[in-house]
Amino acid sequence: MQRDAIKFLQDYAHALDRRDEERLIDFCLLPTVVMNDHDKRVFIHGEDLAKSCHVMVKRLQEAEIVYHKPNLTQAIRLSDSLHFLKMRWQFLDKDKQVIFTCATSYTLQQVKDGSLKIIVAVVDDDRKSIFSFFSNDNESEVSG
**Predicted confidence (pLDDT) at residue 26 exceeds the cutoff of 70:** yes
Q: What is the pLDDT of residue 15?
A: 97
Output the pLDDT for position 64: 92
Q: Which residue has the higher pLDDT, 134 or 87?
A: 87
Per-residue confidence (pLDDT) for residue 127, from 0 to 100: 56
For 29-68, what is each residue's pLDDT tens digit? 999 999 888 888 999 999 999 999 999 899 889 889 999 9
Domains of the chain plus CATH, in order, are 2-134 (3.10.450.50)
Mean predicted confidence (pLDDT) in 9-14: 97
Report the predicted TM-score, pTM, of the whole model to 2 decimal places: 0.85
Amino acid at 52: S
* Amino acid sitting at position 17: D
B/e letters for 28-60, b = 16+ CB within 10 Å, e = fewer, are beeebbbbbeebebebeeeebbebbbebbbebb
Give the residues across from 54 on adjacent strands: none
Banded pLDDT at 1 (limits 50, 70, 90)? confident
- pLDDT at residue 48, as a whole number: 92
Contact 75, 83 (CB under 8 A): yes
Q: Tell me, what's the pLDDT at 38? A: 82
Note whether 49 and 25 are within 8 A (CB). Answer: yes
- Describe the strand order of the beta sheet including 116-124 as a list of residue ranges: 67-77, 82-92, 98-110, 116-124, 28-35, 39-43, 142-143
- Residue 70: pLDDT band (50, 70, 90) is very high
